[in-house]
Amino acid sequence: MENSHSASYAAAGVDIEAGYKGVQLMKQHVARTMIPGVVSGIGGFGGLFAPNLSGIKEPVLVSGTDGVGTKIRLAQLLDKHHTIGIDCVAMCVNDVICCGARPLFFLDYIAIGKNEPEKVASIVSGVAQGCVQAGCALIGGETAEHPGIMAPDDYDLAGFTVGIVDRDKIIDSDRIQEGDVLIGLTSSGVHSNGFSLVRKVFDIEHADLNTPMDELEGKSLGEALLAPTKIYVNPVLALIDGGIDLHGASHITGGGFYENVPRMLPKGLEAFFNAAALPRLPIFELIQERGGIPEHDMYNTFNMGVGMVLAVPQEQAEQALSILHDAGEPDADVMGCVQQGDTGVSFGTVSLPV
């Protein structure tokens, strides 16, 4: 690239040399994600991956794409960009794992007002960390400088992943049965959904983001809100590999419980949750109090402390919990059950069947 320079393009606001520097800085982070199957390094016109199909009778590719949303504004205000990439990966891999698919690789797309190589590398370091947590490879991406369209400090981040699953092991709504128990995997906080409401509640542009708060157990508002989304790939794979007949999985993202849980349910069945069994993280109590938000709207917007809901047969519940605890989910617990009904999701305080 030593002869690649355009003074005319630079005068228009696009520094291609900054782009090259950014690629060099991010290579060390990308290298951490290399797994068997990666054929090409970054910098080519396409990312190449050769999946290991041994033991898979009928491979099915499962893809997922998402962005970080307006949580990025918080990263910009705090000038902390090294975790936002974890959110981007999480929003994609947590979706495909709901089908039982093991993520293979990830690609990202960064649109930025002004290409600052160090900032871009910091963003990508988070993407790489998310890929490491999910066990997939970062095999490519794109950084696009948008002068005149975006302010110099603005950027947006999106990406997609591709996973693989054997056709007869796909998790879909056909497996769910009345009497299945619902196990909740705790979240790290707001994750990456509902931030338009969060920003309004706290008037985020003028909020004190750095002072520790008693309501947040000594964390600052910025620290609590910027906490990266948990990645649930390894715990779910541990269940599958451990012989658990996983009937359903729901990633609790935008739309909260009321929108996401019904996506895994067949007609005629609904999810019942014991409200007392659901964790309510301090950040959600603060959001509801400051915003005067009704209970229904909270559960229809946020994960409320539960980032993933898993449906398993009642007789396998104890075994499933043991596997999850060993897989790094010590707070996983039975929080609900599947019952007849057509409300989608209901809450109460009735004792659960286990």
Domains for the chain: give ranges and CATH numbers: 7-169 (3.30.1330.10), 173-348 (3.90.650.10)
pLDDT confidence of residue 26: 74
Distance between CA atoms of residues 354 and 350, nearest Å: 12
pLDDT confidence of residue 280: 87
pLDDT in tens, the chain (354 residues): 555 555 555 555 555 566 556 577 778 888 899 999 999 777 678 889 999 999 999 999 999 999 999 999 999 999 999 999 999 999 999 999 999 999 999 999 999 999 999 999 999 999 999 999 999 999 999 999 999 999 999 999 999 999 999 999 999 988 999 999 999 999 999 999 999 999 999 999 999 999 999 999 999 999 999 999 999 999 999 999 999 999 999 999 999 999 999 999 999 999 999 988 999 899 999 999 999 999 999 999 999 999 999 999 999 999 999 999 999 999 999 999 999 999 999 998 766 555
pLDDT confidence of residue 30: 85
Q: For residue 209, give every residue at least 6 positions away whose Cβ sits within 8 Å of its Cβ, in sequence order, or none.
A: 74, 77, 78, 220, 221, 222, 225
For residue range 11-59, list pLDDT tens digits in order. Answer: 555 555 665 565 777 788 888 999 999 997 776 788 899 999 999 999 9
Reported pTM = 0.92
**Residue of 211, 198, 215 whose CA lies nearest to 291:** 198
- Residue 112 forms beta bridges with which residues? 145, 155
- Left if phi > 0, otherwise alpha if psi is -120 to 50, otherwise beta: which for 4? beta
Distance between CA atoms of residues 230 and 133, nearest Å: 9
User: Which backbone phi and psi does 269 adopt, to 5 degrees?
Assistant: -120, 150
Please say whether the dihedral angle defined by the alpha carbons of residues 215, 86, 296 and 184, taken in this order, is positive or negative.
negative
Position 202: which residue type? F
Give whole-number Cα distances, 350 to 29, 194, 272, 338, in Å: 49, 29, 9, 13
Nearest-10 crossing angle of helices 84-96, 71-78: 160
Q: How far is CA 116 from the centre of its chain?
A: 26
CA angle (65 as vertex; 62, 71 as ends), nearest 5: 145
Cβ pair 166, 57 in contact under 8 A: yes
